[in-house]
Amino acid sequence: MDTIAAISTPLGAGAIGIVRLSGEQSLSIALRFFHCSGVSEPADVTPNMLRLGTFIGGSVREKCMMVYFRAPKSYTGEDIVEFHVHGGAYLTECVLDTLLGAGAKMAAPGEFTRRAFFNGKVTLDEAEGVARMIGAESEAELREAYGLMSGRFHAAIDELISELTKVLSTLEASLDYPEEMAEESDDAIKRAYEVRDKLQTLLDSYKTGKIIKSGITVAIVGKTNVGKSSLMNSILGYSRAIVTDVHGTTRDVIEQSMVHKGVKINFQDTAGLRTTGDLVENIGIERSLMAARGADVVLYVMESNRELDEHELSEIRGFSKKVILVNNKIDVYGSASSGVNVSAKTGEGVQVLLDEIVRAALGDRRSADTLMEERHADCLRRALRSLNAALSACGSAENECVLVDFRESIEALYEIGGGNATESIINDVFSRFCVGK
């Protein structure tokens, strides 16, 4: 059985949000992201005990509680891990995203209850509650189905399904009608590569949609005393961060949001990068790097009379993010030839920088073409994974084997809108190929 994950508390801003894992891999997946002193392997975790620690993964770095219920003494009767994090849709979704990225599968509607039922765990009251909730969920989905964005999304999925169906029907027809299909030729695999690229594009647009919904996360990094905190204060228009001449003033990540031309931007001011013996500051520097890796855009700030050295260049590459070079203090040192020139002190260049941030994160797109749910994105990710597996096995494995992965891929897509893969494939065989005696 797969290990499944879902957000178990209602969406929206509550005080606490719970993200739940169920299945054999629950604890091992959880411990990849949950850090807590005295816990490094599954055996260290006492069941039924709430522990305080830090969830580190993706763009999340969050103090939270974790509790582990050992099978069969759990709601589903399987191993369960719950993360209790600060509420808010964005944060819980990020945690879920991270878990799904690590191999958990998005739970289908009612799946926790179904598993609980099969393991003889669920009580009537609970089950009825869940059934009500599922009902409400599908109603909400129905309403949403009329939305334009979601309509576009489903049209895109339908197109992917129809393209992939052609790939599968060609391969299936050649297995079921070897004598007749010898005459038919079709570049099914080439078509499959095209589907793969479209799937990837659709998933990318999911990221865009998510950024628009949750804001662009921008990490401000650079060496000490280049004016990172001043820059943030200048952007926000008030003194959020403490600014001094002392190197290493900023010790922790300071967050603040603002809206620029209708797009939300979340700034993270970080500790300056330098080699130091100060323990607290070193932790801060470690966090700066983590913030940079988790951000959508990194502002690398330096004084405008300096060039990047080799060490900085390799550090920037290590972020593997979109990085904007910011030359600060132009009021003192004058402008540089590349990057964005600003003066945190006078505010010169700040609006240009904000425009540049939006462009770096979203390109020319100001609205996502499609808007999709996390559940849908999970289906797309699985479809992509299976499709890649199929394509990499093409040529070395027999077609009936490759078809196992192709099938998995199309079935993941069918999970989004419902429907029957086998029927459509067989229909396609007979509509496209002249087979049969």
Sign of the torsion formed by the C-alpha atoms of 403, 408, 412 and 415? positive
Cβ closest to other proteins, residue 133 vs residue 289:
133
| Residue 348: burial class (beta carbons within 10 Å; 0-12, 13-18, 19+) | middle
Residues 37, 275, 337, 396: which binds other proteins (CB under 8 A)?
396
Local structure of 424: helix, strand or coil: helix
With contact defined as beta carbons under 8 Å apart, do 222 and 300 qualify?
Answer: yes
Per CB under 8 A, the segment of 18-26, 240-248, 377-385, 419-427 that binds other proteins is 419-427
Q: Confirm if 392 and 189 have CB atoms less than 8 A apart.
A: no
Pairing type for strands 322-328 and 340-341 reads parallel
* Interaction between residue 185 and other proteins (CB under 8 A): no
Q: Which of residues 136-175 bind other proteins (CB under 8 A)?
A: 137-138, 172, 175
Can you list the alpha helix ranges (DSSP code H) found in 215-372? 228-236, 279-294, 310-319, 330-333, 350-362
State which amino acid sits at residue 60.
Answer: V
DSSP H or E run through 65? strand 60-69
Tell whether residue 71 is a contact of other proteins (CB under 8 A): no
Residue 252 lies near other proteins (rule: CB under 8 A): no
The least distance separating other proteins from the CB of residue 7, rounded to whole angstroms, comes to 18
Does residue 113 belong to the site contacting other proteins (CB under 8 A)? yes
Tell me how far, at minimum, the Cβ of 179 lies from other proteins, in Å: 7
Total of chain residues touching other proteins, rule CB under 8 A: 49
With 0-12 / 13-18 / 19 or more C-beta atoms within 10 angstroms meaning exposed / middle / buried, residue 411 is: middle
Choose between 182 and 279: whose C-beta lies nearer to other proteins: 182
If one asks whether residue 404 binds other proteins (CB under 8 A), the answer comes out as yes
Beta carbon nearer to other proteins, 141 or 252: 141
Residue 400 near other proteins by CB under 8 A: yes
**Please, which residue, 135 or 347, has the CB nearer to other proteins?**
135
Residue with tokens 């500051």: 281
Which residues of this chain interact with other proteins, rule CB under 8 A?
Answer: 1, 108-111, 113-114, 117-118, 122-124, 127-128, 130-131, 134-135, 137-138, 172, 175-180, 183, 396-401, 403-404, 407, 418, 420, 422-423, 425-426, 429-430, 434-437
